Amino acid sequence: MEKTLQAIFDAITQGKTAEVSALVQQALDENLDPKTILDQSMVAAMREVGDLFESGEKFVPEMLISAQTMQNGLAVLKPSLIADNVKAVGKVVIGTVKSDLHDIGKNLVGLMLEGAGFEVIDLGTDVAPQQFVHAAEENQADIVALSALLTTTLPNMEATVREVEPARLRNKVGVFVGGAPVTEDHAKAIGADGYAIDASRAVRVMSEWLSQAGS
């Protein structure tokens, strides 16, 4: 049984997209607990990929392949997780702010979050402030994550943070920002709860915030 978990872990870290679905099904056929499969093979693998990225041993294309591999495995595992009532670590509403159509960074953050056990509601690109608020309230989200690539759209990021403020106070929703023109100083200046320079760190800072918010 441990051999199958290791095989899933290896498939994700090595980006063996074509193999992972069968391996996850094999683990289920061996009556392995779905949450054990998620935590010990899939989440652990994406954490390893993130660590390797931060140390310079993996690059964005490799992270994307690993994230897609994890997605393929998760598609097989999800019905069993639902049947066992396994809850997500937290819910994140994510999107690129109004007037910005870039989505590669946002997509990678979303994939990495799902790999870490979060439920992700992806609003896409060019998302108006009120759309973030509506989605956060409708889905009872824990976190709203804003992405921007264009310097000209940073004011829309700030406007979204302000728009979300009532929901933050009412429901303890965290707001996190990122993207090429965003800095930690800018994040603090507009009142965000956190900032990350890349997808791997985004998962870490959101997980830490959620852990502290729930304590």
**Residue 54 pLDDT:** 87
Instruction: Give the Cβ contact number of residue 57 at 10 Å.
Output: 10
**Residue 2 pLDDT:** 87
Question: Could you give the 3-state DSSP secondary structure of residue 28?
Answer: helix
With a cut of 90, say whether residue 86 has pLDDT above it.
no
Strand partners, 133: none
Average pLDDT of the segment spanning 7-23: 96
Average pLDDT of the segment spanning 47-63: 91
Between the alpha carbon of residue 162 and those of residues 1, 24, 143, 159, 174, the distances in Å are 50, 43, 15, 5, 12
**Residue 87 pLDDT:** 85
Write out pLDDT tens, residues 171-210: 789 999 999 999 999 999 999 999 999 888 999 999 999 9
DSSP state letter for 187 = H
Query: What is the value of pTM for the model shown?
Result: 0.83
Helices (H), 84-152: 104-115, 129-138
Backbone angles phi, psi at 206, to 5 degrees: -70, -40
With a cut of 60, say whether residue 215 has pLDDT above it.
no
Average pLDDT of the segment spanning 99-122: 92
Average pLDDT of the segment spanning 66-75: 92
Backbone angles phi, psi at 67, to 5 degrees: -65, -40
Tokens at 96, concatenated:
């690129």
When pLDDT is cut at 50, 70 and 90, the band that residue 120 belongs to is very high
DSSP state letter for 40 = I
With a cut of 60, say whether residue 1 has pLDDT above it.
no
With a cut of 70, say whether residue 79 has pLDDT above it.
yes
Are residues 175 and 193 in contact, defined by beta-carbon separation less than 8 angstroms? Answer: yes
Tokens at 45, concatenated:
């693998």
**Residue 171 pLDDT:** 74
Amino acid letter, residue 194: G
When pLDDT is cut at 50, 70 and 90, the band that residue 169 belongs to is low
Domains of the chain: 2-83 (1.10.1240.10), 91-214 (3.40.50.280)
Instruction: Give the Cβ contact number of residue 138 at 10 Å.
Output: 10
Nearest to 145 by CA among 61, 205, 99: 205
